[in-house]
Amino acid sequence: MRLRAVIIFAAVFAYLSPLAVFFIHYWARGNPAVAALYYRYHLLVDAGITFLAAGLSGVTVYWVLRYLLAPWLRLERELEGLLAGRERLRPVGEEHADRIVGRINELLRISRDYLDLQELEFGQLAAGIHDDAVQTLIAARWALAHGEPKKAERLLRQAERSLRRVICRLAPPELEHLNLTEAIAQVARRQELEVAIEGPANLDEQEAIEVYRIVQHALANARRHGQARRAWVRIEKGQEVRVTVDDDGRGGSVEPGQGLRLLEARMRLRAGRLEWTASPHGGVRLAASWPVET
């Protein structure tokens, strides 16, 4: 408050200083001695008043800018601290800047949650490979060593299926050879679901992968938890990409598991949203949307 008062006083004084020339002229009109003195040194007086006003104006502008920019300079220092390893930003004392600080802290929290969930998923994948595929391969080697080739072949096929499931969770191989509609249809066949797909063909590669992940998760949940038989997939693209997946399963409340929370975190990082509600077909509707990058 003291700094603000000083700025206001300096600004008022600076911009009223030129009025001093007018008052000197007015005073000199009724006082011949003052008039003679002023007209003798009027260049010096006028120049002095002008320089004083200009100097005070410059000082005022400097302090005003310093006052206005102080929160943003503090925000810059906070961002440097963030790059140096600090986990979150502290408020800087200005309403608009603190709203930005809040948004950044929220994004940081979502990013940390997403990374934690991703690490958990990778850990589960590693455990699944070790407990399923690796152990099956060891059993196949044991069967070969004991002269049981048919058993070994059966175990190798089982290990192959396990590894393919892991690969599908890590990267969608279908999109390397099929378009998005065909890839979704193949996922539905694996889940023993009938699927109707409606959507545009103008998605870029990254959007197609994101849509595939969402539909893949929705179909797996529909079959595993809802015992669904049919699903309806609708994909729209305008100012945002929107994916809606309905099923005819049992419905009921949806408890978000690790996969759903991962999708939700991905959508929030993309400035999008993920929602699940009751479907008009009796099961669950999973809807995701995020803005198109331009």
Domain definitions of the chain by residue range: 2-86, 106-170, 178-294
Rounded to the nearest 10 degrees, what angle do helices 32-40 and 19-29 cross at?
Answer: 130
Phi and psi dihedrals of 55, rounded to 5?
A: -65, -45
Tens-place pLDDT, residues 9-36 = 666 666 666 666 666 666 666 667 666 6
Burial class (CB in 10 A: 0-12, 13-18, 19+), 147: exposed
Tens-level pLDDT at each residue, the chain (294 residues): 555 666 666 666 666 666 666 666 666 666 676 666 666 666 676 677 677 667 767 777 777 777 777 888 888 888 888 777 777 888 888 788 888 888 888 888 877 877 777 777 777 777 777 778 888 888 888 888 888 888 888 888 888 877 776 766 666 667 777 888 888 998 899 888 999 999 876 888 888 888 988 998 899 888 888 888 999 999 999 889 999 999 998 876 667 777 788 788 888 878 889 998 888 888 889 999 999 876
Tens-place pLDDT, residues 136-189 = 888 888 888 888 888 888 888 888 877 776 766 666 667 777 888 888 998 899
Q: Which CATH class is domain 178-294?
A: alpha beta
Which positions ≥6 away from 27 have C-beta within 8 Å? 34
Angle at 267 between CA 199 and CA 83, to 5 degrees: 140
Write down the H helix ranges in 86-148: 95-128, 135-145
DSSP three-state, residue 1: coil
Return the percent helix, strand and coil in the chain, to nearest 5: 65, 10, 20
